[in-house]
Structure 1
Amino acid sequence: MWALKALNLDWTKTSKERVEQLNELDEFRFKAYESSALYKKKMKKWHHTKILKRKFKVGDWVLLYNSRLRLFRKKLKLKWSGPFRVKRVFSNGAIEVEGQEGPAFKVNGQRLKLYFGECQDISLIEVVDMEDA
């Protein structure tokens, strides 16, 4: 106020300009909010297209993606560890697996893939009687 009086400026004109500037600032803020919401929506859609729908059953053999292992360089690093047996499947995508030694633990289903190799579990080996064949 004192600056307006000292400079002999018109109070009504200055106040109208200031209100217009504030309205313009609100418009910029609203446009930024809209573009941010649009960007988030596009990124969410892109992210959901990258998620694979994987169905596991109890008793399946799976491999676990090991993202934290940094002992070797990329070429020599083993990305998958296991095999593990699926012990329990939860509705939210979590899966409880158990190793051949050690306790069972829960992991995200996106970190698993089916294992089609030879299983090391002795209970799966079927004994065939050679006399019956």
Structure 2
Amino acid sequence: LVPQTSGQVEITNRGLKRILKRTVGENRALWSDKLEDALWAFRTAYKTSIGCTPYRLIYGKACHLPHEIEHKAYWALKHTNFDLRTAGDHRKLQLNELRDQAYENSLIYKERTKKLHDDKIKNRVFNVGDQVLLFNSRLKIFSGKLKSRWSGPFTIAEIYPYGTAKLIHPDGCNFKVNCHRLKNYHGGDLPSLEILDVTTFPKDN
């Protein structure tokens, strides 16, 4: 599965990377040793988009962390005396209800996210024939080089619904991009971004 083709996979990977950065410290070569802990933290953390933790979505109950086990002893004892078939049917019903609720929560979350995104797009008005610059979000940093994060200019050939445009490069190639990566080009040289040598970066305290 290619992360760039799946927004959910990309979001998950970004969350795991954020957790790993906080746990590995300076010795980043040992990130694989912390991966299991990072996965556990990710799966037991509350997710706003679904309204619960991934752990609960799978198992139908909250995760009892080690320091909570002693306090949950009575909870465990109280649930040991039950009929397995009845308990199984009840658990399936709970899981179905939980997943239906998580699905509804995800739709609401996506709609809110889309509205915020569309509000930003509406502030930028582009027309066919406009010259624009394209923001390069995957800029490769080379030490000691000057490079702009904006490339172009390109000419807008077509505007599509939902904030997408087709660009034409002077060499003849064309491609589609999201309009939130564009800005109007008014002529002149592109602003340069100075990239310092990574060896000169101060260490984080």
The TM-score normalised by the length of structure 1 is 0.58
SS at 2:129 equivalent: coil
Aligned letter for 1:18? L
Which one of the candidate residues 95, 103, 107 is aligned to 1:29? 95
The residue that corresponds to 2:44 in the other structure is none
Residue by residue over 1:18-40, the C-alpha shift from the partner in whole angstroms, topping out at 9 and shown as x without a partner, is 23111221132123203321331
SS in structure 1 opposite 2:183? Answer: strand
Q: Deviation per CA, 1:49-68: give whole Å up to 9, x if none.
A: 23223442111111111112
What is the Cα deviation at residue 78 of structure 1?
Answer: 2.9
Instruction: Answer whether contact 1:63 1:82 (CA < 8 A) is retained.
Output: yes
- Runs of 4+ residues over 4 Å off in structure 1: none
**Pair 1:46 & 2:112 matched:** yes
Structure 2 partner of 1:78: 148
Give the deviation of 1:119 after TM superposition. 6.0
More strand, by proportion: 1
Aligned to 2:137, which of 40, 48, 67?
67
Q: Indicate the structure with greater helix content.
A: 2
Gaps of 5+ in 2: 1-81, 190-205
Report the count of equivalent residues: 101
TM-aligned CA deviation for residue 95 of structure 1: 2.0
What's the counterpart of residue 172 of structure 2? 103
Partner of 1:6: none
The letter of the residue matching 1:19 is: R
CA distance in 1, matches of 2:187, 2:182: 17
RMSD (Å) for aligned C-alpha atoms:
2.9
Aligned position for 1:112: 182
Higher relative contact order (Cα pairs below 8 Å, separated by 6+ residues): 1
* Residue 22 of structure 2: aligned partner: none
| Max Rg structure | 1
Specify whether residues 104 and 93 from structure 1 end up closer, same or farther in structure 2 by C-alpha distance, changes over 3 A only.
Answer: farther
Unpaired segments ≥5 residues, structure 1:
1-15, 121-133
CA spacing shift, 1:46–1:59, aligned 2, 3 Å: same
Q: Percent identity?
A: 27
- Give SS of 1:97's match: strand
Change over 3 Å in CA distance of 1:78–1:43 after alignment to 2 = farther
Asked if the contact 1:96/1:105 (under 8 Å) is kept, the reply is yes
